[in-house]
A and B are shown apart, each in its own frame.
Chain A
Amino acid sequence: MSLIDEDEALIAAALNGSAFAWEKLVKRYESKIYNHGLRLMGNSSDAMDLMQEVFLGVYRNLHRFRGDARFSSWIFRIAHNKAVDLNRKKRLLAGYPVDSDNEGDVFDSFADEEGEEPELELLQSEQNRNIMAMLNILPFEQRLIVELKVFQSLTFEEIAEMQDISENTAKTRFYTALRKLKSVTEEYHVLS
C-alpha cells in the first residue's frame, strides 16, 4: 500500500471513529507541520500553537477531504493559511503594521557562545539555530516564499496560486529573499 493510499485508509478509519487511525495520521505529519511552523513563526511556542491549530482544522474539515489532491498538499495548504492568520494576529497584538519588514540588528539573532535567544536555545542543532536566525530577518511574505520553495519544493506556479499572487511576483520575492539572506550571511562571516 502506497503512502497516499495509506493516508486515505487512515482518513476513512478516522472518520468512522477510529482513534488509533487518527493518532497514526497525526503522527505521520506532526513533525513536518511543527518544523514548518518553527521556520515560519520563529519560535517553538508559536510553532506548537500553529501545529495544534492545523490539526484542529484538519479534524474539523476531514469529512470535506475528497482525495482530489494529496493529503500532504491539503494539510500544508491549511498550515499555510493558519500561519498567515497567526502572523496577522501576532502583528496586530504587538501593534505593528501587518506588512512591515522586520527591523533590528540581524546579527543579534545568530548563534554565538555568549548568548542566544531563549527560544532558539531550545533547538537541537546550532545549524538550525542559524537557519532560524537567518529566516527571522525576512519579512513574513518572503519567509513564506522561501519556506514553500526551499523546504516544500513547490513550483512558483503553485506558490503563486496558493498566495494569490502572480508567478513573477513569487519569483521576485524569492530572489529578493535570497539576496537578503546572502548579504546577511556574508556580513556575518566578514565580522566573525
Chain B
Amino acid sequence: MSCPKTPHILQEYLADDLTPLAKEEIDKHLLQCEHCASELEVLMLTQSQLANWQAERVPHWDRGMELFRREHRVGKQSSSWFSAWQWMPTAASFAMLCLLIFNTSVEVGDGGFSVSFGSPVSDMDAALAAFEQEQRTEIDSMIARFESRQDTNNLQLMQAVMSQTQQATVENLDQIYAYFEEQRRQDMQLMSQGYQQLADSDYATVQSLQELAQFVSFQGAR
C-alpha cells in the first residue's frame, strides 16, 4: 500500500522553512496515511541513528607548529628588537678600543669616583727614575754579597784541593823512590851475575886456548 504523495510530503516535512500552514496540512495527511507516517518514522530513525556519532580522538600531529614557528621566525628577523643586540659585541669592542687609545683611568676615592684621560708624564718619569735607582742599588749590593760569598767558597775549595794534592804528591814520591831503589838493587844483582858469568866464560876460553896450545905444541913436537 503505497502513497503517491510520499516523496513530496516527506521532502517538505524534512525542510527547515516549513510554514505553519504547510505543516498543518502535512500533519493532517500523516494522520490519515499510514504509509507516509511509517516512512517518515523510519527516516527520522535513520537520521537519529546517524546523529549518534561519538567524536573520535584525533591522532597525534604537530598542529602546523613547525611551519608556524619557522615562518614567523624568518619573517620577524629583520624587524625584531632583538636584532639590535647583534651589534653589542662590536660596540663593546669599539668602546674598549677608545678607552685604550685615550688612556682612560677611573679612580675611586672617598668623594666618589673620577674619570681621567691620559696620565701625568712628569710624575711617572720621576717614579720610574726612583724605581730604577732603587733597583740598581739593590742589584749592586746583591752582586757584592754574591762576589764575597763566591770568593770565600773558592778559597776554601782551593785550600782543600791543595792539601789533598800535597799529601798525594808526597806519597807518590815515596812510592817512586822505593820503586827506583828496588830496581837499582835488582839491576846490581843482575850485573853481578852477568860479570860472574863473563868471568867464568873468560876462564873457559883461557883453558881452551891453553889446551889448543898444548895440542899444537904436541903436534909440532912430533
B57 to nearest A CB, angstroms?
7
B53 to nearest A CB, angstroms?
5
Query: B96 on the interface (CB 8 Å rule)?
Result: no
Residues of B at under 8 Å CB distance from A?
Answer: 7, 10-11, 14-17, 42-43, 46-47, 49-59, 61, 63-65, 67-69, 72, 75-76
Supposing A26-B63, A131-B49, A181-B46 touch, asked if A17 and B56 sit within 8 A by C-beta, the answer is no
- A160 CA / B54 CA spacing, docked (Å): 27
Binary B-proximity of A135-151 (CB < 8 A = 1, otherwise 0): 10000000000100011
Interface residues of A in 1-52 (CB under 8 A from B): 14, 17, 19, 22-23, 26-27, 30-32, 34-35, 38-39, 44, 48, 51-52
Which chain A residue lies CB-closest to B10?
Answer: A175
Would you call A35 and B14 a contact (CB within 8 A)?
no
Supposing A34-B56, A124-B56, A131-B53 touch, asked if A17 and B72 sit within 8 A by C-beta, the answer is yes
**Number of A interface residues, CB 8 Å?**
45
Query: A127 on the interface (CB 8 Å rule)?
Result: yes
Would you call A134 and B50 a contact (CB within 8 A)?
yes
A-B contact pairs, 24 of them (CB 8 A): A17-B76, A19-B72, A22-B64, A22-B65, A27-B63, A31-B55, A31-B57, A35-B53, A39-B53, A51-B58, A56-B64, A59-B68, A124-B56, A124-B57, A128-B54, A128-B56, A134-B49, A150-B51, A151-B53, A155-B16, A156-B17, A171-B11, A172-B11, A186-B42
Which chain A residue lies CB-closest to B52?
Answer: A127
Supposing A30-B63, A48-B61, A172-B11 touch, asked if A182 and B69 sit within 8 A by C-beta, the answer is no
